[in-house]
Amino acid sequence: MRLYAGKMLIVDLTANTVSTEPLRQEWIREYWGAWGLALRYYCDAVEPEIDPLSPENVVVIMAGPLGGTLVPLASRLCLVSKSPHTRTIFESNIGGAFGPELKFAGYDGIVIKGRAEVPVFLKIADDRVTLESAESLTGRGIFETEKLMEAAIGTPEAKCLAIGPAAENLITFSMIGSESYRQFGRGGTGALFGSKNLKGIVCRGTGKIDVAEMGAFLERISYYKAHDLLTDDNLWAKTDGTPILVEVTNEMGIHPTKNYTRGFNGRKEKLNSDAIQAAKLGDRACFACPMACGKFTRVNSAEIEGPEYETLCLAGSNCEVNDLEAVIRFNRLCDDLGLDTMSCGSTISLAMEMTETGRHNFNLHFGQVDEYLKVIYEIATLSTERGRDLAQGAKKLAAKYSADDLSMEVKGLEMPAYEPRGNYGMGIAYATSERGACHLRAFPIFAQDPHDIDALVTEVVNAQNANGIKWSMGFCDFWGTVNTQIEAELMSAGLGEPVTAEELDRAGERIWNLSRLFNLQAGFTAADDTLPKKIMERPLEDGSQAGRVFSREDLTYAMQMYYRQRGWDEQGVPSQKKLHDLGLDQLCVKECRS
Amino acid sequence: MKKQLFANPDHCTGCNRCALICSALKEGAFQPDKARIRINNFPLRGYSVPSICFQCPKANCMDVCPSSALYRDADGVVLVNENLCTACGTCVSACPYGMMEQGAAGIAYKCDCCGGDPACVRECHADALLYAVGDSEQIRLKGAQMKYRTAVGTPAEKRHVMAEKLMKKARS
């Protein structure tokens, strides 16, 4: 096949078997790859009511059609399953080089079913695929697990996906790591592997990816790389990477500080891009990416690729830890033990506020570094009472101690580092994301009027659809100007057959609606499309948006406008007409229909 | 002075665009495993090392070839005459840097500097690759890299030995 490897790997851990099957051709032109295709495979395999951590649940990992080629920023790998943290449909994508390696080994994706009797890891050496005992890996951190799996396959050129102790302990915000500092973040991807007794996957691929006509394909890549990617709109990623957002969000007054009490951090200089540049040893890139947004830093003996903006804010400003070395140490511990830095940071900042307001004493205080670093290990290993408490995540922690006015999550997913009171668009994005509070579905922070609900609803809907197909192509967020026209041209050149922007647009909307159907069937309703109490009731302090709330009335209005624009009814259920238009009414997976 | 290929690992981001364009042009498909330039990544330490053919002034591969299939062109680049190559693999074992390999039919292949305009250099956005006459610093850096020779092992192992040594030095 062209662009695609053409094969799926099917791993049944209960039966201890590995097999392959051809890629489902009839789904390709509807779902394309990565997110979309993984979602389609997933919906075909499970009932939406499924318990995410049961052996019956399935995990689908899928590369994109442009992954492994010279198309820049297009080699991300998606994972789709039901999240143990939110119990919604869930997608996460990872950079680095595992996705391309999987395609070079001959597979577009992996469907993982069942539960192994004893801990195992999956070893993929081109067409030699085996399940190996992971007994000697149990309890080890991600960094060491990757090294040992590389040794087991016999080459440091292999790429790994691995879990650490947090995931083995089924913590619902644990994650799968790769190449030390990259993750399938958010939502508990790690616990999905952990529940299946799957310690990791090591892959070495030596094969090739074909295209229709190499010269024409390379010409299109060079053109869009020079004329669209490497332009002022996107070059911040090369020069600064995500830390640039520390100054941007503070300027906008939407920089979460002190567990979302304030919108401005007066000590931002400790964590901003200048601080990162001062600590930088070099730039790091994902596969085939000329931007290299990863900044490898060192402060004293603490080294890491990062920290990225979300961590700088949620584990820095939001915990009032204005100390880059401490944030690096936090980040590294989370990456090795296997915890999502956003959820972990947000849960700790909640515990800090609960302690300081007398709700419950966790001995965690804003700006106090020692206990903040100590508690990470306690969470990952469930070794203390407070560790076990915080390991539940913000929503359950707050519920246990009657502090739901302080917990900052939507559908159980801790909020990203953009304050919705200062930008209603982010609030609309968080409330409507299929996986809970998420900034990777729509990102309207640069909207002209951050409180114009009508305009922001339109922007959010358009961005969600665009990202539906963008993540299905395997693209990275940071090619900010890529669009379905460019995607269609690259696909056409690679496949040697015409692909139109219109069919890609429709696919994005189709993916969004299928996710919605899944969540409705899983038991979610319009009442879950909401925001934290603090956002709706307590005015934001400090910064240029001080005094703002995103009131319940405004949110109700925004949701009604959103549903209408989506072609959904007042309860947020897609209309039959919308489903028909998208070809979802014919969907043979009846369990995905509401 | 003639132009030559230089690699500066301190600037390499590990992206592999060089290996991708190399395989696309030499093999007609995206296949980094068959590229004539290879990247060794050490993500934990945030370091990457490009492995390039140094076009050694005294080239082991040429010395050991029993059929004289390897020759040097006017630019100093060592090339394979595929008609003379008997697929014996002697040059692969002889190269101390792991930069000679064999294709499907056993025919040896190596970097040919694209006839004087290396595509890898054009694809590198990190200034980690350079095709130039070279200043004294670049020539010194290349000399330092060439000291890390390995007599035994697969090409991948030899490349990794040098890369790991350079990484440890840079990240000490």
Give me the phi and psi of B36, to 5 degrees please: -90, 0
The whole-angstrom distance between residue A388's C-alpha and the CA centroid of its chain comes to 24
Chain B residue numbers with beta carbons less than 8 Å from the beta carbon of A291 are 125
- Which helix (DSSP H) or strand (DSSP E) does residue A295 occupy? strand A294-299
Chain B residue numbers with beta carbons less than 8 Å from the beta carbon of A216 are none
pLDDT higher than threshold 50 for residue A590: no
The CA distances from residue A306 to A272, A275, A296, in Å, are 12, 12, 6
CATH class of the domain defined by B4-171: alpha beta
Closest residue to A285, CB basis, from B15, B25, B171: B15
Q: Which of A348, A9, A339 is nearest to A185 (CA)?
A: A339
Give ∠ CA A526-A531-A537 in degrees, rounded to 5.
125
Inter-chain residue contact A179 with B41, CB threshold 8 Å? yes
Inter-chain residue contact A206 with B31, CB threshold 8 Å? yes
Give ∠ CA A312-A35-A193 in degrees, rounded to 5.
70
To test the contact with chain B by mutation, choose from A71, A155, A157 the residue with the greatest count of B C-beta atoms within 10 A, namely A157
Inter-chain residue contact B125 with A292, CB threshold 8 Å? yes
d(CA A81, CA A88): 9
Inter-chain residue contact A285 with B45, CB threshold 8 Å? no
Per-residue confidence (pLDDT) for residue B104, from 0 to 100? 84
Per-residue confidence (pLDDT) for residue A234, from 0 to 100? 98
Distance between start and end Cα atoms, chain A: 36
Per-residue confidence (pLDDT) for residue A588, from 0 to 100? 44
pLDDT higher than threshold 90 for residue A591: no
DSSP track, A140-188: --HHHHHHHHHHHHT-TT-EEEE--HHHHTT-TTB-EEETTTEEE-STT
Q: What percent of chain A has pLDDT over 90?
A: 98
d(CA A343, CA A314): 8
**Tell me, what DSSP letter sits at residue A441?**
S
Residue A547 burial class via C-beta count within 10 angstroms: exposed 0-12, middle 13-18, buried 19 and up:
exposed
The minimum CA-CA distance between A411 and chain B, rounded to whole Å, is 34
* Both structure tokens of A266: 């007066």
Inter-chain residue contact A143 with B44, CB threshold 8 Å? yes
Question: Residue B97: CB partners within 8 Å, gap ≥ 6?
Answer: B51, B53, B54, B146, B149, B150, B158, B159, B162
d(CA A488, CA A565): 25
Per-residue confidence (pLDDT) for residue B41, from 0 to 100? 98
pLDDT higher than threshold 80 for residue A565: yes
Per-residue confidence (pLDDT) for residue A586, from 0 to 100? 67
- Band the pLDDT of A292: cuts 50, 70, 90: very high
Residue A27's CB is within 10 A of a number of other CB atoms, namely 16
Query: pLDDT tens digits for A235-279?
Result: 999 999 999 999 999 999 999 999 999 999 999 999 999 999 999
- Band the pLDDT of A589: cuts 50, 70, 90: very low
Per-residue confidence (pLDDT) for residue A551, from 0 to 100? 98
Per-residue pLDDT of chain B (172 residues; tens, 9 = 90+): 799 999 999 999 999 999 999 999 999 999 999 999 999 999 999 999 999 999 999 999 999 999 999 999 999 999 999 999 999 999 999 999 999 999 989 999 999 999 999 999 999 999 999 999 999 999 999 999 999 999 999 999 999 999 999 999 999 9
Which residue type does A252 have?
Answer: M
Q: Are strands B4-7 and A176-178 parallel, antiparallel or unpaired?
A: unpaired
Query: pLDDT tens digits for A192-243?
Result: 999 999 999 999 999 999 999 999 999 999 999 999 999 999 999 999 999 9
d(CA A222, CA A224): 6
Q: Looking at this predicted complex, what is its ipTM? A: 0.98
Chain B residue numbers with beta carbons less than 8 Å from the beta carbon of A284 are 13-14, 43, 46
Mean pLDDT of chain A: 97
Residue carrying the six token digits 């693999």:
B89
Per-residue confidence (pLDDT) for residue A140, from 0 to 100? 98
Chain A residue numbers with beta carbons less than 8 Å from the beta carbon of B166 are none
The minimum CA-CA distance between B137 and chain A, rounded to whole Å, is 20
The minimum CA-CA distance between A125 and chain B, rounded to whole Å, is 13
Query: pLDDT tens digits for A123-136?
Result: 999 999 999 999 99
Q: What is the 3-state secondary structure (H, E, C) of A551-569?
A: CHHHHHHHHHHHHHHHCEC
Please give the residue of chain A at the shortest CA–CA distance from B43.
Answer: A179
Please give the residue of chain A at the shortest CA–CA distance from B41.
Answer: A157
d(CA A361, CA B96): 62
Chain B residue numbers with beta carbons less than 8 Å from the beta carbon of A180 are 43-44
d(CA A556, CA A218): 49
Inter-chain residue contact B43 with A284, CB threshold 8 Å? yes
Please give the residue of chain A at the shortest CA–CA distance from B33.
Answer: A206
Residue A93 burial class via C-beta count within 10 angstroms: exposed 0-12, middle 13-18, buried 19 and up:
buried
The minimum CA-CA distance between B1 and chain A, rounded to whole Å, is 31
Chain B residue numbers with beta carbons less than 8 Å from the beta carbon of A68 are 30
- Band the pLDDT of A587: cuts 50, 70, 90: low
Residues A48 and A82: beta-carbon distance below 8 Å: yes
Chain A residue numbers with beta carbons less than 8 Å from the beta carbon of B43 are 96, 179-182, 284, 305
